[in-house]
């Protein structure tokens, strides 16, 4: 199974870009990279996903390296409300369909 590695925590100043890295060196060709975030005691929220190309939506940008072994989630102008745990996930095919395995994630602290 493809696994991901993320730093346990990061700090970011309010208004600055937050760049959250993720390593997924064993990713296979048909597996997508997904990002979710979880604010304390709530259910995780989907942010963005991609396969090969860089992606952008109203929340964030996702940059995937050409060899697909790592990616970076970019929050362009972090606010205090972006303080959360961010999960980088690679989709895994399991019996009966795709499982989704969450690691420990990166705890992002946005500071005023």
Partner 1 sequence: DGGITQSPKYLFRKEGQNVTLSCEQNLNHDAMYWYRQDPGQGLRLIYYSQIVNDFQKGDIAEGYSVSREKKESFPLTVTSAQKNPTAFYLCASRLNSDNEQFFGPGTRLTVL
Which residues contact partner 1 (rule: CB under 8 A)? Answer: 34, 36, 41-46, 49, 87, 91, 94-105
Residues 6+ apart with CB under 8 A from 31: 2, 90, 91, 92
Q: For residues 14 and 21, which CB has a smaller minimum distance to partner 1 in the complex?
A: 21
- Name residue, tokens 């979710």: 36
Angstrom CA distances, 61 to 8, 44, 79, stand at: 20, 18, 15
- Min dist. Cβ of residue 69 to partner 1 (A): 21
- Min dist. Cβ of residue 27 to partner 1 (A): 17
Judged by DSSP in three states, 21 sits in strand
Q: For residues 17 and 93, which CB has a smaller minimum distance to partner 1 in the complex?
A: 93
As given in the structure block, the two tokens for residue 71 are 């990616």
Q: For residues 78 and 85, which CB has a smaller minimum distance to partner 1 in the complex?
A: 85
- Min dist. Cβ of residue 3 to partner 1 (A): 12
């Amino acid at each position: 199974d493809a696994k991901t590695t993320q730093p346990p925590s990061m700090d970011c100043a309010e208004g600055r870009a937050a760049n959250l890295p993720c390593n997924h060196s064993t990713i296979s060709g048909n597996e997508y990279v997904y990002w979710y975030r979880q604010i304390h005691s709530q259910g995780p929220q989907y942010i963005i996903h991609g396969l090969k190309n860089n992606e952008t939506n109203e929340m964030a940008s996702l940059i995937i390296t050409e060899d697909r072994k790592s990616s970076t989630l970019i929050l362009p102008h972090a606010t205090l409300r972006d303080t959360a745990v961010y999960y980088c996930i690679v989709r895994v095919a399991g019996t009966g369909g795709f499982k989704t395995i969450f690691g420990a994630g990166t705890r992002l602290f946005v500071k005023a």
